[in-house]
Amino acid sequence: MKKKVSVILAILVGLFTLVAILLRPFFDLYLNLILKLGIVLASTATLVGIANLMLTHLRRVSTGKRGFFFSLIVLLGFLVSFIGGLYLGHDNPGYLKWVSSIRIPLEVSFFGLLALTLTYTGVHFFRTKEWSPLSISFGGSVLVFLIVKSGLVQGLENPIVDQVLAFIQRLPVAGSRGILIGISLGALITGLRVVFGLERPYGE
């Protein structure tokens, strides 16, 4: 019974939202209300997720599980930033500066590591990939766009070369447009499945 109620509720809310979006601006007031309810629900789910994560790390520390030191750092970092946010306010300039001074260097170093890994992966691809139509076309287009984007060929200032370059640079736009149409269709069908209750991620 509980399962049926949740399914019916999900379908009704989904259908109403769909119709309200299509008949805008007549149902804007209700649409805003549903959106706000959705935000409250999503925030509650996030709080549950955070609480679950913290409990898991607490358990790891209390049982002395391998790598518990990292769990301790997670817990301390969470507590300090959480209490700091509650005490000073989440928009306090001092608090924001303090959090940013930890977060930004970490993210920058992460991006640095990512740049290195991307370079290494690129080299590794050409060294180890077996020859197949996909790998040849992928590798070929990578080389072509590396050369085109480097600006070396543009320096020739030849009108025919410029026309060829303009054509080559339009290719990814056309290709990605095709891919994005396919992905949008997939998203639409997934949404319809959820709205009609044919896909129920909220219960097995």
Partner 1 sequence: MTNWMLWIVIGLSSFLMFFTWLLRKKNPFSKLRQLDAYTQLQEQNLAAFEKGKRLIFGLGGQSMLNEVSINDISGLPVFSRLSRQIVNGDQVPQAYCSDGVLACLSQSILDGVYKNALIPELFSIESTLLVGANNMSFVAGLLTEINTDSNDGLIMFGSLKPEALLAVDLAHRHNLYCQAISDSPSAQAIFYAAGCQPVIGEEYFAAGASLKAKPIYGISLRVQDVIRILIIIALLVGAIVKLMGLY
Nearest CA to 154 out of 141, 144, 165, 140 is that of 165
- In 55-167 the beta strands, taken as DSSP E runs, fall at none
CB 17 within 8 A of CB 201: no
Count the Cβ atoms, other than its own, within 10 Å of residue 1.
5
| Segment interacting with partner 1, rule: CB under 8 A, options 26-34, 88-96, 150-158, 174-182 | 174-182
Residue 203 backbone dihedrals phi, psi, to 5 degrees: 180, 135
| Segment interacting with partner 1, rule: CB under 8 A, options 77-85, 86-94, 108-116, 147-155 | 108-116
Distance CA 95, CA 92 (A): 5
Among 79, 83, 114, 156, binds partner 1 (CB under 8 A): 114
Q: What minimum distance in Å lies between the beta carbon of 121 and partner 1?
A: 5
Q: What minimum distance in Å lies between the beta carbon of 84 and partner 1?
A: 16
- In the chain the beta strands, taken as DSSP E runs, fall at none
Q: Compare residues 159 and 182 and give the one whose CB is closer to partner 1.
A: 182
If binding is defined by CB under 8 A, does position 194 make contact with partner 1?
A: yes
If binding is defined by CB under 8 A, does position 203 make contact with partner 1?
A: yes
Q: Which residues contact 187 (CB under 8 A, 6 or more apart)?
A: none
Helices 68-88 & 93-128, crossing angle to 10 degrees? 140
If binding is defined by CB under 8 A, does position 102 make contact with partner 1?
A: no
Torsion of CA 63, 68, 73, 74, to 10 degrees: -70
Among 121, 131, 151, 167, binds partner 1 (CB under 8 A): 121
If binding is defined by CB under 8 A, does position 125 make contact with partner 1?
A: yes
If binding is defined by CB under 8 A, does position 204 make contact with partner 1?
A: yes
Q: Site residues (CB under 8 A) for partner 1?
A: 18, 21-24, 41-50, 52-53, 55-56, 59, 67, 70, 106-107, 110, 113-114, 117-118, 120-122, 124-125, 128, 134, 138, 142, 176, 178-183, 185-194, 196, 198-199, 201-204
